[in-house]
Amino acid sequence: MANTDYEKYRVSRPSYLFGGGVKGRQSPVMTYLSNEIVPGCNLYIELGWVLGMPEPNPHIVAHSHGYDEIIIHIGGDPENPRELGAEVEYYVGGQPLAFDTTTLLYVPAGTTHGPAVWNNFTKPHIVMSVILGPDTTDAAWSTQSIPAIPARTDDIDYEKYLVREPVYLTGTEVTEAIKSPAPIYLSSDLVPDCRAYIDFGWIYGLPSMTITTKR
């Protein structure tokens, strides 16, 4: 059996492909994963810092993808990770969804989402996008754009796809340097329509090799 060089799966330098020309945020954004970067992964991941009120606002217009997308707004204050540092109003299917905390939005394939409007800004924060399934970057961003706020065409309450409050999985304490227990922002329990799991958290110091509880 041939040895596998796992180095090919480590991405330490992003590509800068999309989102140029927006003031107040990292632009272009950092693309850390795509089939062009890691062949066969069938995932697209980008993220970037928002450092002030974006201009233009909105700079994310209404659009749709052929794949499920996960959009995460992450607060940048390690002392108060739930505080986003902004109030954002994100339209999904024409329904406005407002939030001012670290929040995850799950968008099923074909669902129109946007525009995203920043109503205020107080602290830097991160916006991250994960698109599930595309075999190329072009396929990930092969979208239908709509120049205005779309009209509601269904009676779906898209609030069910917004996760403002994480759940905490007990028994996940790893080391004293990692905030525990792990905050879970996406699972089939939180959003029954999805087939993904996401947790994340801050590292507050140098993790020791002592593992208190295995996950």
What tokens were used for 123? 């602290």
Q: What is the pLDDT of residues 50-68, one digit of tens each?
A: 999 999 999 999 999 999 9
Q: Going by C-beta distance under 8 Å and a sequence separation of 6 or more, which residues neighbour residue 9?
A: 38
Q: Which of 129, 33, 118 is nearest to 84 (CA)?
A: 118
- Report the sign of the C-alpha dihedral through residues 74, 79, 85, 87, in that order: positive
For residue 203, the SS3 value is strand
Provide the pLDDT for residue 211: 53
Provide the pLDDT for residue 100: 98
Radius of gyration of the chain (CA): 18
Residue pair 35/115 in contact by the 8 Å Cβ criterion: no
Which pTM value belongs to this model? 0.89
Q: What is the C-alpha separation between 21 and 35, in angstroms, rounded?
A: 25
Residue type, 206: L
Q: Identify the residue whose tokens are 């507050």.
A: 204
For residue 182, the SS3 value is strand
Provide the pLDDT for residue 180: 65
Mind listing the domains of the chain with CATH numbers? 12-165 (2.60.120.10), 166-215 (no CATH)
Q: What is the C-alpha separation between 149 and 63, in angstroms, rounded?
A: 10
Q: What is the pLDDT of residues 25-42, one digit of tens each?
A: 999 999 999 999 999 999
Torsion of Cα atoms, 182 then 188 then 193 then 198, to 10°: 30
Provide the pLDDT for residue 98: 97
What tokens were used for 107? 């968008």
Start-to-end Cα distance in the chain: 31
